[in-house]
């Protein structure tokens, strides 16, 4: 490995974090510049830039307009599902955001208030996020593929003053009406907002204000018609910018908090140094604003940089074909793109020889970045050969907000090793630990942990629950943050991430909780108990499978169990959302458990994936595993 720029930068970030991050902070415009960099006064909860103040929206929009980028495209909405493309300049986006911020202010939204945003990939979603940032309000975007139970859990926890929703999202196969799902979620939630704002789309116009509700409902256009633009509100660097809920193992989602100051500094640094994107470049992230990749690399990082971001409302395949990404790259002269490996696997399946690439001029493309799940060497090799550009893996999580490990293309391109996201990024002191918390030597697999403090931009805590943060992340290995992933570091310092060591699912790069799918299954009147496991899938990385034990006395004829299984699949679609992609539920006689009653999901997963199962000595009845083998792996 060459050591020109990466090694000294990384070393300084670990040994002299104040020096490293105070230099990085100069790329951000502050109202009160930072004098304190790392604040460990409340360890293990560390804060960055305590005492400094800024506004994130100002850094994403106003400063670029002031500095002459007003006519540069800030956002290109490319929507094959509606057949439209709209380019919005920095000046245009600023005008829309300032006005919508005024509209939210007219509903009483102030600094610190929460606003839930439930919208698909339309510019108004970005406008709503930045309008919150402008006011110092805290947005919480909920992925449009989530159904009422998931949405309700987030509303319950975030307690928003206002909910902003779209009337519908558009999937290639159907129009997904959001308003009935929002209504159902608000009916379930004990917390009610003061106002609901609905952005009407012509594909499904929603009924707004027709029900008798405790809250006021209005359309986006009605609200904005009388609104006056407002200026940015000063916030502390440590004030929350957003809450993004993510799945743990239980059904209760975790509210990841992102602060304003550390986030702006880290994302701006990452854009130039990791992704090699400079002001004026065109950048395309194919994800969704409801996920962390969308927050960081569709919205905030490119705009903080003064780049142009492509907001793509479509799929990698089927809108209209497997050349969709190449068309976007050619049409908008994209310099680098970012998506999940699944998207490339879907393209590879439809166009294995990459013949559609030749139909588009992708000469502007310099790099492809992939993250969200493990980048398998086959997909890496395929993408590299059909595109002829470096394909760069990067590993991170909702909690961290930006890469823990990557190949820093802007700082210093390092050799790429298939199967590895390369090396730790500044501020991340990555360690591989055994079960006792002792560090393991190079080449040995263990739990991936990060020595505290985590760098700027990572979660300072969970929303309203410091204790859950400490218990869930900081207690397993004292002095460290437990990532939940397992892996190893090789002799060259390259990290290899093998996957989650807990029961969190990763389906097509979407993080889902076994707990919430199990809660949906358990709600069926015929189900006594159930378990959900993630099994390996060629396209989506993992797919969930449900195993249920029926209550005594329930009809177990083939016809009856088929009907129950179909109802269970539908329940998960209705409660969690179609994105859970649960298609297979099997009725079984019993589930394997430890003597204390813990269901052995990992053991079942290993059987389903054809691996040697780890059977704990505390198993209650080992014969249950034998009866499950033909169900979990019928072809073996
Ligand atoms: N709103 C409503 N429904 C949604 C949705 C949304 N935003 N996103 C997905 N869904 C639905 C889909 O329509 C599908 O429904 P169906 O079962 O009726 O067909 C279901 O959820 C599963 O969706 P998806 O995971 O997208 O699977 P798919 O088979 O339709 O497509 C891929 C497969 C690989 C093309 C797709 O998963 C993809 O583009 N992945 C990219 C990964 C990604 O962006 N990850 C984000 C983190 S980086
Ligand atoms: P999310 O919080 O949705 O971004 O999901 C984070 C999880 O996705 C991580 O804990 C990993 O299990 C997985 N993940 C993300 N990126 C990668 C990657 N590049 N390689 C392997 N796993 C990844």
pLDDT digits over 351-366, tens only? 999 999 999 999 999 9
β pairing state of 47-48 and 38-39: antiparallel
Beta strands in 188-288 (DSSP E): 195-199, 216-219, 235-236, 240-246, 254-259, 282-285
Query: What does the pLDDT look like over 606-623, one tens digit per residue?
Result: 999 999 999 999 999 999
Flag whether pLDDT at 287 surpasses 80. Answer: yes
The whole-angstrom separation of Cα 182 and Cα 273 is 40
Query: What does the pLDDT look like over 116-140, one tens digit per residue?
Result: 999 999 999 999 999 999 999 999 9
**Mean pLDDT, to the nearest integer, of 421-445?**
97
375 lines ligand 1 (CB under 6 A): no
Q: Considering only CA atoms, which of 106, 74, 7, 42 is closest in space to residue 425?
A: 7
Domain limits of the chain?
Answer: 6-314+394-483, 510-632
**Mean pLDDT, to the nearest integer, of 167-177?**
96
In the CATH hierarchy, which fold is given to the domain comprising 6-314+394-483?
Rossmann fold (3.40.50)
Pocket test for ligand 1, best of 508, 566, 575 (most atoms within 8 A of CB): 508
Confidence bin at 431 (pLDDT 50/70/90): very high
Whole-number Å distance, alpha carbon 343 to ligand 1 midpoint, is 10
Q: If you write DSSP's letter for every residue of 6-46 in order, what string do you get? A: HHHHHHHHHH-HHHHHHHHGGGS--SB--S--EE-TTTTS-
Q: Residues 116, 122, 128, 134: is their CA dihedral positive or negative?
A: positive
Pocket test for ligand 1, best of 293, 328, 578, 583 (most atoms within 8 A of CB): 578
Ligand 1 atom, smallest distance to 143 CA: 7
The whole-angstrom separation of Cα 80 and Cα 69 is 28
Confidence bin at 3 (pLDDT 50/70/90): low
Cis peptide before 401 (omega within 30 of 0): no
420 lines ligand 2 (CB under 6 A): no
- So what's the pLDDT on residue 1? 44
Angle between helical axes of 558-575 and 148-158 (0-180°, round to 10): 40
Ligand 2 atom, smallest distance to 394 CA: 19
- So what's the pLDDT on residue 249? 77
Q: Which protein residue has the closest C-alpha to ligand 1 atom 26?
A: 579
- So what's the pLDDT on residue 169? 98
Whole-number Å distance, alpha carbon 160 to ligand 2 midpoint, is 28
Q: Note the ligand closest to the C-alpha atom of 422.
A: 2
Confidence bin at 635 (pLDDT 50/70/90): confident
Flag whether pLDDT at 5 surpasses 70. Answer: yes
The whole-angstrom separation of Cα 94 and Cα 537 is 43
| Burial of 612 (C-beta count, 10 Å sphere; 0-12/13-18/19+) | exposed
H or E element at residue 302 = helix 301-305
Level-2 CATH architecture, domain 510-632: 2-Layer Sandwich (3.30)
The whole-angstrom separation of Cα 387 and Cα 377 is 15
Question: What mean pLDDT value characterizes the chain?
Answer: 97
Beta strands in 395-475 (DSSP E): 405-406, 423-424, 429-433, 446-451
The whole-angstrom separation of Cα 288 and Cα 527 is 34
């Amino acid at each position: 490995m060459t050591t020109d720029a990466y090694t000294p930068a990384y070393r300084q970030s670990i040994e002299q974090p104040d020096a490293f991050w105070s230099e990085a902070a100069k790329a951000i415009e502050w109202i009160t510049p930072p004098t304190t960099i790392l604040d460990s006064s409340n360890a293990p909860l560390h804060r960055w830039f305590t005492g400094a103040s800024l506004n994130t929206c100002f850094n994403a929009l106003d400063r670029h307009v002031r500095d002459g980028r007003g006519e540069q495209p800030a956002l290109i909405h490319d929507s094959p599902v509606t057949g439209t493309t709209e380019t919005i300049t920095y000046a245009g986006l600023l005008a829309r955001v300032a006005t919508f911020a005024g509209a939210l202010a007219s509903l009483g939204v102030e600094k610190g208030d929460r606003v839930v945003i439930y919208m698909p990939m339309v510019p108004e979603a970005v406008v709503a996020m930045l309008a919150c940032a402008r006011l110092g309000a805290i947005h919480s975007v909920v992925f449009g593929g989530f159904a009422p139970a998931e949405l309700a859990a987030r509303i319950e926890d975030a307690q928003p003053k206002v909910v902003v929703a779209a009337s519908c999202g558009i999937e290639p196969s159907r129009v997904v009406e959001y308003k009935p799902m929002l209504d159902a979620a608000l009916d379930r939630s004990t917390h009610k907002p003061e106002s609901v704002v609905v952005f009407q789309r012509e594909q499904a116009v929603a009924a707004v204000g027709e029900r008798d509700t405790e809250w006021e409902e209005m359309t986006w256009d009605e609200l904005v018609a009388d609104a006056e633009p407002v200026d940015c509100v000063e916030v502390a660097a440590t004030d929350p910018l957003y809450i993004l809920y993510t799945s743990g193992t239980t059904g209760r989602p975790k509210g990841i908090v992102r602060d304003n100051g550390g986030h702006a500094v880290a994302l701006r640094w990452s854009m130039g140094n990791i992704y090699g994107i400079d002001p004026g470049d065109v950048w395309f992230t194919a994800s969704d604003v409801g996920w962390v990749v969308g927050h960081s690399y569709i919205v905030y990082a490119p705009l903080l940089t003064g780049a142009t971001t492509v907001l793509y409302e479509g799929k990698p395949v089927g809108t209209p074909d497997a050349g969709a990404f190449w068309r976007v790259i050619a049409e908008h002269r994209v310099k680098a793109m970012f998506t999940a490996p699944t998207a490339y696997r879907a393209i590879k399946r439809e166009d294995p020889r990459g013949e559609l690439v030749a139909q588009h001029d992708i000469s502007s493309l310099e790099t492809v970045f992939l993250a969200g799940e493990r980048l398998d060497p086959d997909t890496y090799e395929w993408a590299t050969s059909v595109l002829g550009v470096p394909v760069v893996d990067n590993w991170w999580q909702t909690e961290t907000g930006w890469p823990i490990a990557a190949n820093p293309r802007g700082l210093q391109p390092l050799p790429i090793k298939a199967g590895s996201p390369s090396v730790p990024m500044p501020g991340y002191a990555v360690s591989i630990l055994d079960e006792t918390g002792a560090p393991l030597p190079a080449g040995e697999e263990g739990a991936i942990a990060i020595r505290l403090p985590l760098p700027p931009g990572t979660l300072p805590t969970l929303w309203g629950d410091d204790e859950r943060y400490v218990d869930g992340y900081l207690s397993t290995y004292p002095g460290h943050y437990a990532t939940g992933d397992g892996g190893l570091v090789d002799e060259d310092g390259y990290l290899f991430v093998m996957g989650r060591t807990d029961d969190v699912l990763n389906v097509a790069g979407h993080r889902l909780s076994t707990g919430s799918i199990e809660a949906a299954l358990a709600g069926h009147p015929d189900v006594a108990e159930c378990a959900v496991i993630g099994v390996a899938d060629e396209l989506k990385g993992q797919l969930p499978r449900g195993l249920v034990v029926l209550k005594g006395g329930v009809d177990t004829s083939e016809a009856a169990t088929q009907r129950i299984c179909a109802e269970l699949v539908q329940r998960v679609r209705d409660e969690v959302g179609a994105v859970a992609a649960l298609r297979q539920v099997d009725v079984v006689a019993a589930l394997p458990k430890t003597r204390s009653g813990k269901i052995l999901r990992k053991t079942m997963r290993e059987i389903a994936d054809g691996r040697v199962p780890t059977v704990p000595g505390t198993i209650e009845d080992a014969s249950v595993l034998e009866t499950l083998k033909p169900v979990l792996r019928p072809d073996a």
